[in-house]
Amino acid sequence: MVVGLVLAAALAVGIPVSPPEAGAAAMPPTTTSHYAATVDPATLNAQGRVAGRAGTQGLVILDFGRPAVSGSTSGTMDFNGGFVSLDSIVAATASYVQGYFATAPANLRLDVAIGTNNSCGTGQPCGGIVCGCRFEPPSFAAWGARQAAAVEQAQSQATSLRSRSGFTDVVTVVAGDDAEPAFDPGYQNTYDLLAGYANAVGGFQPAMIDYGSAERGFWSSDQLLQIADGFRPNLAVPEVYFHSQVSSWASLASYAKARGRVLTVFGVLTNAPNGASPQTGYGSLLSAIQPITGQAAIRWTSNISR
């Protein structure tokens, strides 16, 4: 993506963009993201209330699991191994936002990502265009378009609630994909889903957050860059659980620079205590990419857990 497209994408999700300055800016406050084991509205509402009371601002990812289709119904396989519909995911996300509105101080800004991943089961490799997994979507491009519709429905509900109730906080609903090369060595499923999403939204927003990894040995460098930054809605939020992931993202930034492109990193996702702390992940990634791209700060920091 050329620099102009990066700036346009940033403005589309309300991210202030300024020229890099000498030295790194202070680390942003860390939000709490969730691997969703349920779409129970009460559970999501409680999570939103916790975020609101903490005065959370930034990016929160709600990862509902891998894409799935049961009969004619699109949804995901959640982290308890059950099928949940996109309609129930929309309702759960709206409940999270409602809880946030109810307890947050005035005039905050929050981006909430309806997330998925590119695995064929939690931690299970794909290997080809059709992985043969239970409830696997017959078309990942069509599933991506339905993810876009779900994001837009959740945004409509959040906007309506804000208007009806007079809340002053601004919540933007976006999409996300924990895109990891080792989960889909065949690449096509991941590409099709992001292409389907991008075609459905038709522009830079709602954004698609790539909060996955960039390890070598599965996809080509061009494929890695395509998933991280090759579609107009895409924003890179690298998963930095371990130091090796810092190196792989820095390598991808160098590859982009060599081809006259700038890979802007919009956030860092950690998984403490199972990996690097948010402070370590943020500092390590920024130190690695700053000499390459001149980026002086990273907008978002989030730590994901159940």
CATH of the domain at 149: 3.20.20
> Which pLDDT score, from 0 to 100, does residue 151 have?
98
Distance (Å, whole) CA 45 – CA 62 = 12
Helices (H), 121-241: 140-165, 188-201, 221-229
> Which pLDDT score, from 0 to 100, does residue 186 have?
84
What's the domain range around 278? 3-15+24-295+298-302
Q: How confident is the model at residue 306 (pLDDT cuts 50, 70, 90)?
A: confident
Please write the tens of the pLDDT for every residue from 176-222.
Answer: 999 999 888 889 899 999 999 999 999 999 999 999 999 999 999 99
Report residue 39 as tokens: 């779409």
CB 112 within 8 A of CB 96: yes
Looking at the 3D structure of the chain, how many domains does it have?
1
Least confident of 15-19, 91-95, 117-121, 260-264: 15-19
Sequential DSSP letters for 116-149: EES-SSTT----SSS---TT--S-HHHHHHHHHH
CB neighbourhood size of 27 (10 A) = 16
> Which pLDDT score, from 0 to 100, does residue 11 have?
37
Asked whether the predicted pLDDT for residue 48 surpasses 70, the reply is: yes
Q: Which pTM does this prediction carry?
A: 0.89
Please write the tens of the pLDDT for every residue from 78-117.
Answer: 998 899 999 999 999 999 999 999 999 999 999 999 999 9
CB 208 within 8 A of CB 177: yes
Q: How confident is the model at residue 8 (pLDDT cuts 50, 70, 90)?
A: very low
Instruction: For residue 125, count CB atoms less than 10 angstroms from its CB and return exposed for 0-12, middle for 13-18, buried for 19 or more.
Output: middle
Asked whether the predicted pLDDT for residue 1 surpasses 60, the reply is: no
Asked whether the predicted pLDDT for residue 123 surpasses 90, the reply is: no
Q: How confident is the model at residue 127 (pLDDT cuts 50, 70, 90)?
A: very low
140-165 helix and 86-103 helix, angle to the nearest 10 degrees: 30
Indicate the average pLDDT of the chain.
90
Average pLDDT over residues 46-65: 98
Asked whether the predicted pLDDT for residue 18 surpasses 90, the reply is: no
CB neighbourhood size of 260 (10 A) = 8
Average pLDDT over residues 29-36: 97
Of residues 3 and 194, which shows the higher confidence score? 194
Please write the tens of the pLDDT for every residue from 283-305.
Answer: 999 999 999 999 999 999 999 98
> Which pLDDT score, from 0 to 100, does residue 13 have?
46
Q: How confident is the model at residue 21 (pLDDT cuts 50, 70, 90)?
A: very low
